[in-house]
Structure 1
Amino acid sequence: MVDTPPLYPLQFDPVYTSRDWGGRGLEALGRQLPGDKSVRYGESLELGSVNNGSLAGRPLDHVIEQYGKTLMGDLESTYSGKFPLLVQFIDAGTRCAVNVQKTHRAWYIVSAKPGAVIYKGFNPQRTLHEIRHAIESNDFDKVEQCLVVTPVKPGDCHFLHGATCNALGAGVVVAQIAMPGEGPLELFGWGQYDPSSDIEHALELAMLPPPDVHQFENRSHIAGMFTTVTRLVTCDQFQIEKIRMSEGYSQEIPYNQPAIWIVLAGRGTIDPATGAETVVFKCGQTMLIPAELGQATVSLDEDTIWLEITFPQVSATPLA
């Protein structure tokens, strides 16, 4: 019988995709982007193959299959061996196409140039006829008038209800948390109108007017002497909190479910208390914290900020 190595916080090799509309914004997080400096990257898929410890080189799906409940907790039987969320960075060097997706997602604004915007649903003052005409006329100004234009700044977090048309404006980098599902349907590419595109299908899917999402973006804030927790987004499928913890502080990790950490600033270590070696983390990394780590402890070498993504349908003790 082959021994199963003790589990520990997993780090990953991001999978980058170059896009004409992309940029180099992830370098600001300390990322060493592959290839020539002229390559513009639009997307980074974060949960690919493990790159640390004894499981290095293993795809996440294989690790889930091997460890089951130890990694996934009570989510194990719910998602049939697949991780239930997609985690990406998206870097819009220029304005992105307007798309519609069936599934919920959230955008945390990592960076944004002055005056940057996102597009978040159709303008309720516009009719379906006006929207269709603007798209088919390839009129940039009229299309923008048909959308809800939302100014953004770093630290904002926006929930995008399924079937809401959306796009990133130029100069915005986001961390995207999304439910897996079918690919997006493109409504408008800010370029030559393509009569073969399935605009009617996308318009049928898109909600007009856009749904009220304030209930999902209802922020709350818990402040302690060394730790601050800000709840950013909560829906049935995922919850996003922003954690700030002071340099030199240590605390047990209280989870009984998997959690994703996206490290936005600082550095520290996690002692898994499972017999595995200590894991070092830093700004720009994404980690998956297993459900069962024993009395694991996080310790900070610097003031550190990370996004913590958990699953509301599974009970958990907040890290505060």
Structure 2
Amino acid sequence: MDIDIETGAIDRPYPLLFQPILVDKVWGGDRLERLGKTLPPGVAIGESWELADLEVTSRGASAGSIIRNGALAGRPIRDAIHRWGDALLGGVELAEWGGFPALVKYLDATQHLSVQVHPDADYALLHEGANLKSECWYVIEAEAGATLYLGLAEGVKPSDLIARARTGTVADLLQAYEAVPGTWYNVPSGTVHALGAGVLVAEIQTASDTTFRVYDWAEEYGRSGRTLHLEEAAQCIREDKPPQPVALDPVARDGVVVRTPFFTVSEFRMEGRETIEPTAADAGCRILMATSGSVEVRTVGNEPVTLSLGDTCLVPANCLSGLEVEAIDDTVLIVVRFNDSDDH
């Protein structure tokens, strides 16, 4: 490969930024422009995949993020994984197909998303093509009265939900939560759920696009109903309650907001020109997201990287020592670290 850069620069890990992958959805809109995304005219965009490395998606094709900065600009994330190896990952285990183990996205819901469930490890082990999916949501914006559906309502069995889905609406069988900006909602695999209309959220999840649809609100929105997967969903829906929503205390500046067996999420509220060192140097790579404001990411031996509103940055493991993040203006910074495989 011919490169007109400093000798060896391409082999030296540095913080990576990515080109967003825009995904049209029947329930999408145009609010992702508020997060810096350039949207095609006249197309309802529901998702912006910020960091992705999937072998296959629900639409059949693979999806891999393209690096947009530095010596590897224009190349897929898999190239960085192959070239840098553990200097990038720091012991973080890849997905079984060799891809990066997380999918990070923003979602704009102008209509309700389908009521759905994702498989757990046991189901995925027994069913070829299915992959475990555990996720969490951070509400960036919410219209008045916006609702999130998370888990079964009190006394409802999975069989009750499946039976109702065959004949009528299901909203009253689900646990409903108010969508509150600045709040986190943990959605473990097996938890039936739906984003309600009127929310703009960040989503962090394991690397999977396996979704079993239970109800699609077709009659409510006068749209063609998409394929349902009731038999599969019936095998996956769990009865126990998901974790309660979490938000940082109003006076807190930072804290852990979501813990899963696969990743841990921290939130930092930064004031302009404030500098933090958000990680320890003895663990794997980190994902940084700016859901408001912007920051400068500084690592030893590399040019600073500006993380603007809506951007996502992957910081290699061997860049963590000496990592500094300075707020350019007031910023909400999300930091994701991966847990040991023994926690899975």
Give the equivalent residue in structure 1 for 2:55: none
Distance 2:11 2:134 in 1: 35
Say if 2:17 is the partner of 1:11: yes
Distance 2:280 2:98 in 1: 20
Say if 2:304 is the partner of 1:278: yes
State the AA in 1 paired with 2:29. Answer: G
Q: CA deviation at 1:125?
A: 2.2
Gapped regions of structure 2 (runs ≥ 5): 2-6, 52-64, 120-132
Residue among 127, 136, 143 paired with 1:106: 136
Residue among 180, 186, 189 paired with 2:216: 189
1:128/1:52 Cα in 2 relative to 1: closer, same or farther (>3 Å)?
Answer: closer
Say if 2:179 is the partner of 1:179: no
State the AA in 1 paired with 2:327. Answer: L
Distance 2:338 2:158 in 1: 36
1:70/1:241 Cα in 2 relative to 1: closer, same or farther (>3 Å)?
Answer: same
* SS of structure 2 residue aligned to 1:159: strand
Give the equivalent residue in structure 1 for 2:88: 71
TM-score norm. by structure 2 comes to 0.80
Give the equivalent residue in structure 1 for 2:328: 301
Q: CA deviation at 1:255?
A: 3.6
Distance 1:95 1:76 in 2: 34
Give the root-mean-square deviation of aligned CA atoms. 2.7
Q: CA deviation at 1:311?
A: 1.8
Q: CA deviation at 1:131?
A: 2.4
Residue among 236, 244, 252 paired with 2:269: 244
Higher deviation after alignment, 294-303 or 238-247: 294-303
Q: CA deviation at 1:298?
A: 2.2
Distance 1:122 1:254 in 2: 36
Distance 1:180 1:119 in 2: 22
Q: CA deviation at 1:236?
A: 1.7
Distance 1:195 1:311 in 2: 34
Q: CA deviation at 1:191?
A: 1.6
1:299/1:187 Cα in 2 relative to 1: closer, same or farther (>3 Å)?
Answer: same
1:69/1:269 Cα in 2 relative to 1: closer, same or farther (>3 Å)?
Answer: same
Aligned 8 A contact 1:253 1:295 in 2: no
Give the equivalent residue in structure 1 for 2:62: none
* SS of structure 1 residue aligned to 2:90: helix
Deviations 1:25-53 (A, max 9, x none): 22222x132311x3211111111111011
Deviations 1:58-116 (A, max 9, x none): 11111011101111112157877421111111211101111110122111111111110
Say if 2:159 is the partner of 1:147: no
Task: Give 1:211-230 correspondences, 5 Å limit.
Answer: 211-214=241-244, 228-230=253-255
1:219/1:311 Cα in 2 relative to 1: closer, same or farther (>3 Å)?
Answer: farther
1:243/1:79 Cα in 2 relative to 1: closer, same or farther (>3 Å)?
Answer: farther
1:117/1:5 Cα in 2 relative to 1: closer, same or farther (>3 Å)?
Answer: same
Q: Which ranges of 4 or more aligned residues in structure 1 deviate by more than 4 Å?
A: 76-81, 192-196, 217-224
State the AA in 2 paired with 1:68. Answer: G
Give the equivalent residue in structure 2 for 1:131: 161
Distance 1:253 1:50 in 2: 23
Distance 1:306 1:196 in 2: 37
Give the equivalent residue in structure 1 for 2:125: none
State the AA in 1 paired with 2:232. Answer: H
Aligned 8 A contact 2:29 2:108 in 1: yes
Give the equivalent residue in structure 2 for 1:49: 66
* SS of structure 2 residue aligned to 1:232: strand
Distance 1:126 1:41 in 2: 34
Aligned 8 A contact 2:217 2:225 in 1: no
1:278/1:91 Cα in 2 relative to 1: closer, same or farther (>3 Å)?
Answer: same
Gapped regions of structure 1 (runs ≥ 5): 315-320
State the AA in 1 paired with 2:153. Answer: N
Residue among 193, 214, 220 paired with 1:166: 193
* SS of structure 1 residue aligned to 2:310: coil
Residue among 97, 100, 107 paired with 1:90: 107
State the percentage of identical aligned residues.
Answer: 27
Say if 2:227 is the partner of 1:210: no
Distance 2:173 2:274 in 1: 49
Give the equivalent residue in structure 2 for 1:116: 146
* SS of structure 1 residue aligned to 2:256: strand
Say if 2:47 is the partner of 1:20: no
